[in-house]
Chains A and B, each alone.
Chain A
Amino acid sequence: METTLSKATTALKRLMESPPLEDGNPALHMFHEAKPLFEQEIAHVEKNQEIEDLKVSWLGKNGIVTIGLRNLGKLPQENRKTTGLYFNNIKEFISLLLQNKALEIQRKERQEALKQNRLDVTLPGFIQPVGGVNPATHAAECWKNPPSSQAKQIGGLHPLTIVTERLYDIFTGLGFESAAGPEIETDYYNFEALNIPSDHPSREMWDSFYLGGSYLMRTHTSPVQIHEMENREPPLRIVSAGKCYRRDAVDATHSYQFHQMEGFMVDTNVTFGDLKGVLSLFARQFFGAARKVRFRPSYFPFTEPSAEVDIDCFACNGSGCRLCGNSGWIEILGAGMIHPFVLRKAGSHFDPEKHTGFAFGMGIERLAMLSYGINDIRLFFENDLRFLEQFKYNEVE
Chain B
Amino acid sequence: MRVPFRWLKEYVDIPYSPHELAKQLTGVGVKVELVEPASSGISKVFVGEIISLEKHSNADKLSVTQVIFDKNSPPIQIVTGAANIKKGDRIPVARAGAVLAEGKKIENTKLRGEPSFGMMCSAKELGIDGRSLPPEQQTGVMILSEDIDIGIDFAEYLGLNDYILHFEIFANRPDLLGIIGIARETAALLKVPLKMPKPDESSYTCEQPGIKLEAQTLCPYYTGRIIEGVQVKPSPLWLSMRLQHAGVRSINNIVDITNYVMIELGQPLHAFDLDRLSNNLIVIRQAKNGEKILTIDNEEKTMEPWMLVIADSSKPIAIAGVMGGKNSEITEKTTRVLLESASFEPGTVRRTSLTLGLRSESSRRFEKGLDLLNADSASDRATCLMKNISAAPSFSASSIARAGIRPAAPVNILFRPKRAVQILGKELSEQTCRTILENLNFKVESNTTPQWNVTVPAFRKDISEEIDLIEEITRHIGYDNIQETLPQGETLLGQRHVTLLREKRVKSFLSRLGLQEVITYGVENPEYLKICRTDTASIPITNPLSEEQGALRSSLLPGMLKVCRHNQHIKIRDLSIFEIGKIFHQDKGKKVETNSLDILLTGSPWGMPVTFFDLKGILEQLIKFLNLHNIRFNSISQFPFIEGHSAGLFLNSEKIGQGGLIEEEILERFEVAGPVFIGTLNLDILFSLYTGKTIFRPLPRYPEVTRDIAILAPKEILSDTLQEIMTDAGGNLLKEIRFFDNYVGSQTPEGKKSLAYSLIYQADDKTLTDEEVNTKHSIIKETLKKWASKEGLDLTFRE
Contacts and interface: CB of A to CB of B under 8 A. Distances in A.
Given A271-B424, A384-B567, A299 B172 contact: yes
Given A114-B645, A205-B171, A299-B173, A340 B467 contact: yes
Nearest to B560: A383
A118 interface: yes
Contacts of B647: 121
B552 A211 contact: yes
Contacts of B720: 122
B89 to A, nearest CB: 42
The list of the 10 closest CB pairs from A to B, nearest first, reads: A271-B425, A297-B29, A125-B616, A125-B617, A128-B606, A118-B644, A155-B511, A299-B170, A122-B720, A273-B425
Given A177-B492, A243-B522, A204 B474 contact: no
A385 B563 CA distance: 9
Contact of B470 (A133, A172, A199, A305): A305
Contacts of A304: 467-468, 470-471
Given A201-B346, A381-B520, A173 B494 contact: yes
Interface in B633-668: 633-635, 642-647, 660-661, 664-665, 668
Interface of B: 26-29, 31, 170-174, 346-347, 350, 367-369, 422-426, 465, 467-468, 470-471, 474-475, 479-480, 482-497, 499-501, 504, 507-508, 510-523, 539-545, 549, 552, 563, 566-567, 570, 572, 574-577, 581-582, 584, 591, 593, 605-608, 612-621, 632-635, 642-647, 660-661, 664-665, 668-671, 718-721, 739, 742, 753
B303 to A, nearest CB: 20
A235 B494 CA distance: 12
A198 B486 CA distance: 36
**Would you call the interface of chain B mostly helix, strand, loop, or mixed?**
mixed
Interface string A261-297: 0000101111111101110110000000000001111
A295 B489 contact: no
B739 A356 contact: no
Contacts of A280: 484
Contacts of B721: 122
Contact of B487 (A180, A270, A295): A270
Interface string A83-125: 0000000000000000000000001001100110111111111
A30 to B, nearest CB: 30
A295 B482 CA distance: 10
A245 interface: yes
Interface string A183-201: 1100000000000000111
B606 A132 contact: yes
Interface of A: 1-3, 107, 110-111, 114-115, 117-130, 132-134, 136-137, 142, 147-148, 152-158, 160-161, 165, 168, 171-180, 182-184, 199-202, 204-205, 209-212, 215, 217, 235, 237, 243, 245, 247, 249, 256-257, 265, 267-274, 276-278, 280-281, 294-299, 301, 304-307, 337, 339-340, 356, 380-386, 388-389, 392
Nearest to A198: B347
A110 to B, nearest CB: 7
A321 to B, nearest CB: 15
10 contacts: A114-B645, A119-B612, A130-B512, A152-B576, A215-B591, A271-B425, A276-B484, A304-B470, A307-B479, A381-B519
Given A177-B493, A297-B31, A304-B467, 14 more contacts: A1-B671, A123-B613, A130-B513, A132-B606, A137-B607, A156-B516, A175-B491, A201-B368, A243-B581, A249-B545, A256-B521, A256-B523, A276-B479, A386-B572
Given A199-B350, A201-B350, A340-B465, A125 B619 contact: yes
A219 B669 CA distance: 32
Of the candidates A173, A178, A215, the one having the most CB atoms from chain B within 10 angstroms of its own CB is: A178
Contact of B645 (A119, A148, A200, A267): A119
Contact of B614 (A128, A172, A237): A128
Contacts of B620: 124-125
B517 A385 contact: no
Nearest to B578: A155
A256 B519 contact: no
B633 A177 contact: no
B490 A267 contact: yes
B424 A174 contact: no
Contacts of B468: 304
Of the candidates B170, B174, B487, B511, the one having the most CB atoms from chain A within 10 angstroms of its own CB is: B487
A298 B170 CA distance: 7
A271 B705 CA distance: 69
B158 to A, nearest CB: 26
Contacts of A209: 523, 541, 543-544, 549
Contacts of A107: 664-665
B441 to A, nearest CB: 18
Contacts of A211: 539-542, 552, 591
Given A243-B582, A304-B471, A158 B671 contact: no
A247 B543 contact: yes
Contacts of B613: 123-126
B423 to A, nearest CB: 6
B516 A121 contact: no
